[in-house]
C-alpha cells in the first residue's frame, strides 16, 4: 500500500485477464463498429464520391456508438459480485483504481477500433493520406470517450435502467470529441493541416485524465450507497 499509484497495475492486469478470458464479449464493440460502418453504404448509396465525403462522420460516429455499447459491462459484473465494494474498501486511492479499470476497458474496446479504422476507412474510399489522422484522432479521442462513459456507467450501475439512459447521459458530453475528431479527418482529406483539432483532442484528453477519475470514483461511491 505504498505510493499514490499502488493498486493500479493489479487492477489493470486483473481486468485485462478477465476480458481476455471472454473473447466473445471483447469482440462485440469491434463487430458493432464494422456493422454500423457497413450500414451506411447500404442506406445511402455505394457511390465512392458520396461515401468519401461522409466517411469521417460515419467512422467517428460509429466509434462513438461502439465505445458506448461496451460501457454497460465496465462496472456491472464487479458491482454484482461485490468486488467493486472491495475496491472501494481496499484502502488504495479509488480514483487511481477506476482509472486502471477504465484503461483496461479502453484497451479492450477502444484500441481495436483504432487498429481496425484504416480497413473500414478504405472500404469507405477515404484517401489513404488521411488514415494517419484518423488513427491518431481515434487514439487520443477514444480514451476520453471511455473516461466520459465511465462516469455515466458508474452513475447508472445498479439502477437496472439499461443502456438508453447511459446514452442520454454520455452522448451530449461526447459531442466535442466527435466534432474535433471528424473535422480533423475532414481537413486531412482536403490536404489541409489537421494539427489544430488534434491538439484540441489532446488537450481534452489531458483534462479528462486529470479530472474525470475523481468524478468516476465519486460516482462509484454514490452507486454503492
Can residue 151 be called a binding residue for another protein (CB under 8 A)?
yes
Cell numbers describing residue 223: 452507486
CA–CA–CA angle 116, 163, 10 (5° rounding):
65
Cell numbers describing residue 132: 494517419
**Gap between the Cα atoms of 14 and 23, Å rounded:** 15
Identify residues 163-202 at the interface with another protein (CB under 8 A): 165, 168-169, 171-173, 175-176, 179-180, 183, 200
Q: Which is nearer to another protein, 19 or 212 (CB)?
A: 212
Q: Which is nearer to another protein, 56 or 112 (CB)?
A: 56
Residues of the chain by 3-state class (helix, strand, coil), percent to 5: 85, 0, 15
Cell numbers describing residue 147: 473516461
The least distance separating another protein from the CB of residue 215, rounded to whole angstroms, comes to 5
Of 97, 43, 39, which Cα lies nearest the Cα of 65? 39
Cell numbers describing residue 91: 484502502
Stretch near another protein under the rule CB under 8 A, chosen from 68-76, 80-88, 117-125, 214-222: 214-222
Can residue 150 be called a binding residue for another protein (CB under 8 A)?
no
Can residue 215 be called a binding residue for another protein (CB under 8 A)?
yes
**Residues in contact with another protein by the rule CB under 8 A:** 151, 155-156, 159, 161, 165, 168-169, 171-173, 175-176, 179-180, 183, 200, 204, 211-212, 215, 218-219, 222-223, 225
Amino acid at each position: 500500500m505504498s505510493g499514490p499509484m499502488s493498486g493500479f497495475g493489479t487492477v489493470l492486469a486483473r481486468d485485462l485477464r478477465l476480458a481476455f478470458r471472454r473473447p466473445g464479449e471483447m469482440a462485440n464493440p469491434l463487430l458493432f463498429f464494422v456493422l454500423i460502418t457497413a450500414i451506411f453504404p447500404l442506406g445511402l448509396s455505394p457511390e465512392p464520391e458520396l461515401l468519401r465525403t461522409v466517411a469521417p462522420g460515419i467512422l467517428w460516429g460509429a466509434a462513438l456508438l461502439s465505445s458506448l455499447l461496451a460501457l454497460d459491462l465496465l462496472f456491472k459484473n464487479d458491482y454484482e459480485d461485490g468486488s467493486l465494494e472491495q475496491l472501494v474498501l481496499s484502502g488504495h486511492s479509488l480514483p487511481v483504481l477506476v482509472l486502471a479499470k477504465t484503461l483496461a476497458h479502453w484497451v479492450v474496446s477502444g484500441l481495436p477500433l483504432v487498429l481496425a479504422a484504416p480497413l473500414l476507412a478504405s472500404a469507405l474510399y477515404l484517401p489513404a493520406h488521411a488514415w494517419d489522422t484518423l488513427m491518431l484522432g481515434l487514439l487520443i479521442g477514444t480514451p476520453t470517450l471511455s473516461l466520459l462513459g465511465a462516469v455515466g456507467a458508474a452513475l447508472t450501475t445498479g439502477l437496472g435502467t439499461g443502456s438508453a439512459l447511459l446514452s442520454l447521459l454520455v452522448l451530449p458530453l461526447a459531442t466535442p470529441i466527435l466534432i474535433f475528431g471528424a473535422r480533423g479527418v475532414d481537413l486531412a482529406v482536403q490536404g489541409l493541416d489537421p494539427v489544430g483539432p488534434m491538439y484540441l483532442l489532446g488537450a481534452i484528453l489531458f483534462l479528462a485524465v486529470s479530472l474525470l477519475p475523481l468524478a468516476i470514483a465519486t460516482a462509484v461511491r454514490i452507486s454503492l450507497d
